[in-house]
Amino acid sequence: MCVGEQEYINERFKNKLKLPIPAELLLVILATIASHVGRLDERYALPIIGNIPLGLPAPRVPPMMAASSYIVDGLVLGVVGFVVAVTMARLMAERNL
């Protein structure tokens, strides 16, 4: 589905709908229906996800074998978050002077 089609649909029905229609959601719904009706998993041996469990999995401690990669990723995210916060603070300070 093109962005233009999404904009056209949302513009045409904006008087009847309070929120815009997410094109991505419509695409997933249509693909799911097409897969089910066309039995694409049986005809073409396409893998399907199957049943998706409800809810969130229980929290658990990650394996400690890969802790070094977690630490590096955490440091990178911390630095990026700090830089974004400082940049936003400077922009707000300049705007309010």
In degrees and rounded to multiples of 5, residue 86 shows phi and psi of: -65, -40
pTM greater than the 0.75 cutoff: no
- Does residue 9 carry a pLDDT above 80? no
Question: Rounded to an integer, what distance in angstroms lies between the CA atom of residue 78 and that of residue 93?
Answer: 22
CA distance from start to end of the chain? 46
Higher pLDDT residue, 64 or 78?
Answer: 78
- Kindly indicate the confidence band of residue 59, based on its pLDDT and cuts at 50, 70 and 90: very high
Range of weakest confidence among 6-10, 36-40, 44-48, 63-67: 6-10
* Coarse DSSP helix, strand, coil percentages of the chain, rounded to the nearest 5 percent: 65, 0, 35
- Distances, alpha carbon 79 to alpha carbons 18, 49, 69, 74, 90, in Å: 40, 37, 16, 9, 16
The 10s digit of each residue's pLDDT in 77-88 is 999 999 999 999
